[in-house]
Chains A and B, each alone.
Chain A
Amino acid sequence: MRPVPTVGDPVARPGRIRGGRLFAALRLRKYVLVCVGVVVAYALVALAGYAGLLPDFQERVGASYEPPSWHLSRILGTDIFGRSVLYKVLVGTQTAMTIGFVVAAISIPIGVVLGAVAGYYGGKVDAAVVWVYSVITSIPSILLIIAIAHVLGKGIGSVCLALGVVGWVGLCRLVRGEVLKQKGREYVLAARLIGASDLRIIWRHILPNVLHLPIVTASLSILGAIKSEVILTFLGVGIENGESWGAMIQDATGELAQGIWWPLAGVTVAMFAIIYALNVSGDALRDALDPRLSD
């Protein structure tokens, strides 16, 4: 029998410096490295798409609804117009990764800045920020996203904006709570005594101590955005023209009953790999940066 307060994970061993612990975490577990590699590979596919290196998914490569065969362009079969499912999945990867990164790039800075300002200054500023995020959290998020995307019109830009505007709330609450805690520590008092300005205290002293929150949130917010895009597109407020995984899944609903399983299988596997990898990377980052939470 093991003693109950287990710290089974070598990563969670206390007393090492933060950066060292992060690298130790990533080196110690091979499957975490594989997952990080998957995320990098997907990002590279997206970059290749922007560099014009991905094959044209609109081109016909065979007959309509050809099942998978041993030929690169038809390895995942073809769709109703004889287009390669593989190429469509790759373009969908570009869309998904773009949405993931843009949403994270919108929501994380908003969450950190508002959370830090609210937690540090308190008073009216805090009340205002808390009011804004209370309003946003009391509306079911998918409803608010649908409403915003509906108002802004269809397309990748409005999906990103809608997800980003709604997505900062959770991080803001975390950062605010942590800054509130850090504000009372001696090092902040010491910095103030030597005459550091508020901005400097927040930026140079407090922020590095709460930085693990946005880092861990990043992978979760990317995967959340990828999952949400699929649902938004399915509901008809997302992306049109079959350039996304959501649009492919929407098409697959009718195709499955005709025995055409390969488009759905292709999208599901592609999505599974990236979301699984982001989940594992996020957990590994959390364990490495915030050992209190690991088990």
Chain B
Amino acid sequence: MIAYIAHRLVQTIPIVLGVAVLVFVLFSAVGEDPVRLALGAHATPETIADLRNRWGLDDPLPLQFVKFLRQIATFDLGESYNTGEKLTTIFRRGAGVSLSLTVPPFLIGILINVSIALLVAYYRGSWFDHAATALFVGSMSISYLVYIIAFQYLFAFELDWFPISGYERGVASIPYLILPWIIIVVVSAGPDIRVLRTVFLEETRADYVRTALAKGASERVVLFRHVLRNALIPILTQWVTSVPFLILGAFLMERFFSIPGLGDILINAIHTGDRPILMSLTVLMAIGYSVFNLITDVLYAYADPRVKLS
């Protein structure tokens, strides 16, 4: 097991390196000049030269890349171009905010979606199944943006049940977050339930299902006791894989509701050309993605003894 984990961690090194190269090339070699973006069109040559020097942009590109790699390796990420604040501080603050936005609907969504998917799988082939499928495909066919705009307009502006946008630290943030939570749950229902339904139906073809039915267990018992437990293994691993994306937050949501999470920080960085934020955040996300993929595989082997790690 430990050898496997070590092997996998070594395997992620070339991938993270690849991400670092890609991101570095995209933003340093081809992207817009951040100094011009920061100083505007009327900057004097002296201030431009001064800023370039301060940001280390006069170094040759390979040296800049090595510096960038060292920052990633030591987790000493340097400062933002715009605010001069340390990136680690910005990211820690942003990640907390993003998690408060994404974790509650993620957990609520799991509960709701599994229940509905079981129900739909139980009544498969009936009018209820067909109606539910049509409804979920329909809900997937509306742009995410339209959900946000319509819900914000209806529930915050017209009905005035929730504040339109904003954020406060700690428990005071909850009133601001309820509407975004609802939207995330609603939007994720369609795709999640369709996948879950397929997983459940796939599982009903297993031999143990036939055995359980043959010994006289009712279809309900088979579905809720046997199938649910077995299907939870692939489902669980799927959820673990999506954890790093929770940290990044729902960036569109953060933009519409003025929630200062990582997604919002990222979009702002794109518009202002804040390279340190863009590059570090992307590489950190890639590392997180690789690590959680590894966790998924280990969990899978742990939950299902038939799976051998090699």
Contact = CB atoms under 8 A, between A and B. Distances in A.
Interface of A: 1-6, 8, 131-132, 134-135, 137-140, 142-143, 146-148, 150-151, 227, 230-231, 234-237, 245-246, 249, 252-253, 256-257, 264, 267-268, 271-272, 275-276, 279-280, 283, 293, 295
A139 B286 contact: yes
B153 A256 contact: yes
**How many interface residues does chain B have, given as a range?**
35 or more
Contact of B143 (A142, A227, A253): A227
Interface in B164-204: 197-198, 201-202, 204
Most chain A CB atoms below 10 A, which of B15, B138, B201: B15
Contacts of A252: 149
Contacts of B85: none
10 smallest beta-carbon distances between A and B, as pairs:
A135-B18, A275-B141, A8-B125, A138-B286, A276-B141, A295-B201, A138-B289, A256-B153, A151-B30, A134-B15
Given A8-B125, A151-B30, 8 more contacts: A5-B209, A138-B15, A142-B251, A148-B26, A150-B31, A249-B145, A249-B149, A275-B142
Nearest to A275: B141
Interface string B262-280: 0000110011000000100
B22 interface: yes
Nearest to B136: A279
24 contacts: A1-B219, A6-B124, A135-B15, A135-B286, A137-B289, A138-B19, A138-B286, A139-B289, A148-B26, A150-B32, A151-B27, A227-B143, A231-B144, A231-B252, A235-B255, A235-B267, A236-B271, A245-B143, A249-B143, A249-B146, A256-B150, A257-B157, A268-B146, A272-B138
A283 B138 CA distance: 13
Contacts of A271: 141-143, 146
Contacts, number: 130
B222 A237 contact: no
Contacts of A146: 270
B245 interface: yes
Given A139-B19, A279-B137, A4 B204 contact: yes
Interface of B: 14-16, 18-19, 22-23, 26-27, 30-32, 124-125, 137-138, 140-146, 149-150, 153, 157, 197-198, 201-202, 204-205, 209-210, 213, 219, 222, 245, 248, 251-252, 255, 266-267, 270-271, 278, 282, 285-286, 289-290
A283 B137 CA distance: 10
B272 to A, nearest CB: 12
Contacts of B245: 140
Contacts of B255: 235
Contacts of B143: 227, 230-231, 245, 249, 268, 271
A131 B15 contact: yes
A140 B248 contact: yes
Contacts of A142: 251
Contacts of B23: 139, 147
B201 to A, nearest CB: 4
A267 B141 CA distance: 12
Given A131-B15, A138-B15, A272-B142, A264 B31 contact: no
Contacts of B18: 131-132, 134-135
A68 B143 CA distance: 22
Given A249-B149, A271-B142, A4 B222 contact: yes
A135 B22 contact: yes
Contacts of A253: 149
B15 A257 contact: no
Contacts of A230: 143, 145
Contact of A139 (B144, B252, B282): B282
A5 B149 contact: no
A148 B23 CA distance: 10
A295 to B, nearest CB: 4
A8 B141 contact: no
Given A143-B285, A151-B30, A268 B142 contact: yes
Contacts of A139: 19, 22-23, 282, 285-286, 289
